[in-house]
Amino acid sequence: MSLPARYPLCVLPTPMHPLPRLSHALGVEVWIKRDDLTGFVGGGNKGRKLEYLASHLLEVGADTMVVCGSLQSNFVRSAGGLCALLGIRCVAAVMSLPYDAEFGRPAGHPPEEGGNVELDRILGVRLEVVPDGPWEALFQAAADIAERERASGHTVYEVPIGGSSPLGAYGFVQAAAEAQESFDHIIVPTSSGSTHAGLAWHFHGSSTQVHGIACDPEPDLLDDVVRLCAGLDEMHGQVKRIESGGLLLHRDWVGSGYGVPSQAGQAALKRLAREEGVFLDPVYSAKAMSGLIGLATQGALSGRVLFWHTGGFPTVCAPGAGS
């Protein structure tokens, strides 16, 4: 059995450094893993997933990649960069604000201009905007686009939301090895789940606890991570059989819903910028940092803590991100 091949896109390993002022204030040693600096078309965690998806895409011989996400999706922008590099088409089904059917659409309007939307234009991504609705409607729109493209003769490579297939998660099994220095806790935002899954799979059974901070109220979020871990078992021929009870997912820092900044998250965003010179993003990493601060304040973290910064810098530059 052969493991997936890497198509190099990112500048790896990414840097890791302490956060002295935050550590002092919280009374725990906090480090940061700078995956905002992966380099490829603006950085962030999606480049790591795309390195393995790209190899598969080339194997399939696709001339069109079909993706989906929110209008400000970091994955759509990163996939657009890969397609530009390979000289193939990138078609994206996007909603301004997809939401969980059970919770409904949260109040708030993410920026529809600037940020990733502008970068998508530069990269030549073909954005197909569909009206806001539940995630399932977005996935269906992407499936319809893929069908349409196939019908017109294209060889299509369809990628699930956030690049979260087991292959995408494999990028984070590889990433985990960069943080081998013994950390007691790793804090990471969780949304489509493959970042969390790759790290949790690697560290399963070790003394390092991986904490996902949910950025999405979806009740099935943990099932997605479990499914991705099962996919990694299959890929490695190594059966870890990670169940939901063996994973840590904290749901207290989502705020009012996916894609809408939270009060605690915005406070964390400003704090890290002003005290450590690091920009977080309002949708994911700022909420994850508010979770780290919350957990540390509750006394739930001790020893050495690693905050895994997943990127998202373009949305900090979109209108209204600082309010």
Ligand X SMILES: *Cc1c(COP(=O)(O)O)cnc(C)c1O
Verify binding: residue 195, ligand X, rule CB under 6 A: yes
For residue 97, the Cα-to-chain-centroid distance in whole angstroms is 16
Q: Phi first, then psi: give them for residue 274, nearest 5 degrees.
A: -80, -30
Verify binding: residue 312, ligand X, rule CB under 6 A: yes
- CB closer to ligand X, 81 vs 311: 311
Choice from 164, 165, 209, 266 touching ligand X (CB under 6 A)? 164
List C-alpha distances in Å: 224 to 28, 169, 192.
31, 11, 7
- CB closer to ligand X, 63 vs 106: 106
Choice from 269, 311, 314, 321 touching ligand X (CB under 6 A)? 311
Look at residue 146 and give its three-state secondary structure: helix
What is the rounded end-to-end Cα distance, in angstroms, of the chain? 51
Verify binding: residue 14, ligand X, rule CB under 6 A: no
Q: Phi first, then psi: give them for residue 310, nearest 5 degrees.
A: -95, 0
Interface pattern 26-45 for ligand X (x via CB under 6 A): ------------------xx
Smallest separation (angstroms) from ligand X to the CB of 131: 23
Smallest separation (angstroms) from ligand X to the CB of 305: 18
Verify binding: residue 194, ligand X, rule CB under 6 A: yes
Q: How far apart are CA 131 and CA 108, in angstroms?
A: 15
Choice from 191, 209, 266, 290 touching ligand X (CB under 6 A)? 191
List C-alpha distances in Å: 94 to 36, 76, 83, 91, 98.
23, 9, 17, 10, 8
- CB closer to ligand X, 193 vs 291: 193
Here the tokens at position 302 are 């001790």
Smallest separation (angstroms) from ligand X to the CB of 226: 14
Here the tokens at position 67 are 């993706």
Written as one letter, the residue type at 203 is: F
Q: Check if the beta carbon of residue 308 is closer than 8 Å to that of residue 187.
A: yes
Q: Phi first, then psi: give them for residue 185, nearest 5 degrees.
A: -135, 140
Decide if 73 is catalytic. Answer: yes
Smallest separation (angstroms) from ligand X to the CB of 233: 18
- CB closer to ligand X, 29 vs 71: 71
Residue numbers at the binding site for ligand X (CB under 6 A): 44-46, 74-75, 162, 164, 189-196, 281, 284-285, 310-312
- Tell me which residues are annotated as active site: 73
